[in-house]
Amino acid sequence: MKRALITGITGQDGSYLAELLLSKDYEVHGIIRRASTFNTSRIDHIYQDPNQANTKLFLHHGDLSSSDWILNLIYSLAPEEIYHLGAQSHVRVSFDIPEYTGDITGLGTMRLLEAIRRSGAKTKFYQASSSEMFGAAPPPQSEETIFEPRSPYAAAKVYAYWLTRIYREGYSLFASNGILFNHESPRRGETFVTRKITRGVAAILAGKQKELFLGNLDARRDWGYAPEYVEVMWKILQQEAGDDFVIGTGEGHSVREFMEEAFAYAGLDWKQYVKISDRYKRPLEVDSLIADTQKARTRLGWEPKVGFRDLVAIMVDADMEAANLKPNGRGKAVLEEKLGYWNRWQNSVTRVREAIEGQASQH
């Protein structure tokens, strides 16, 4: 049985990755921050009591700012694979807390890589790099595109990217960068613009909200479905050697298009509800991020199955269900038709909602 360690296991990607690896019979370990309140809502539906026999999911309270703690964990676990997803990952917030962003998002990667090197563990390392690193570089962006970061978050990710390459080339570690373009889902954080839009649509339908405040509507992004992206993370670490891969759909849409699609899917006129607020705009904007995925398609054999309109339908349906409304249903149909059992609607959406409500089903 393979053993994997996931940083950021309670985030969107970490929760989906944990489910995927458990479905492949891995023993999964995750790092979570110690807090006075529970922050495990995305993984409560797969939580296993560590005192029970045959438990395959284990959580460790820790901090990416502590080199000694990380080294001790690597020594004790000796995982075959590490998926480093933990970060301060909100781009707009990184302008407000640049020091913390640099410490966790940038130096946190160095601490993990150094722990692997010092421990001598034969560990494969995956670094969650970001399309935000490309910044002002014109699209489409590939593995050869020069980085032009436009935020403290992007700068920290560039630092982490190059450290991953340095440890791969300098110390012969199996260390890979997955440069993932925007990937969304019903588990996306509520302050990220896509989820803010779909949650706002559901709240308006439920009569709980009358206005939705947004920032820059003209930014263009390459949006995909998060569970498909964690599958490619796993594929990257199954290669014969470490390497770097750009992952995306190759298709660009503006925030305005996402908003219009979400409101139209729900039968609403966005002009009656959406207002623009400068507080949600960044000091430096990134105009357009669109992936050139030729390398990933050729080397990894990976093709996204969920398109832009399907993604919006999935997210709106999920937020409607969470608001105790009857979803339109196209999003659920997409998951049932296009994706594997571990990520169909009951497991990926309904069980998470039930766990959050304290009534997780057992099927």
Selected catalytic residue, list 19, 27, 81, 132: 132
- Whether residue 130 lies in the annotated active site: yes
CA 240 from chain centre, in angstroms, equals: 25
The whole-angstrom separation of Cα 52 and Cα 98 is 42
Catalytic-role residue among 89, 119, 130, 185 = 130
Looking up tokens 């997955």 gives 178
Distance CA(265)–CA(298), nearest Å, equals 34
Annotation says 132 is catalytic: yes
Measure the CA angle with vertex 17, ends 305 and 229; round to 5°: 30
Cα→Cα distances 191→90, 131, 141, 213, Å: 8, 19, 26, 11
Angle at 34 (CA atoms; ends 95, 120), nearest 5 degrees: 90
> In this structure, are residues 197 and 204 in contact, taking their beta carbons and an 8 Å threshold?
no
Assess contact for 36 and 9: CB atoms under 8 A: no
- 61-94: b or e for each residue (b if 16 or more CB lie within 10 Å)? ebebeebebbbebbeebebbbbbbbbbbbbbbbb
Q: 25 — alpha (psi -120 to 50), left (phi > 0) or beta?
A: left
Query: Which residues participate in catalysis according to the annotation?
Result: 130, 132, 153
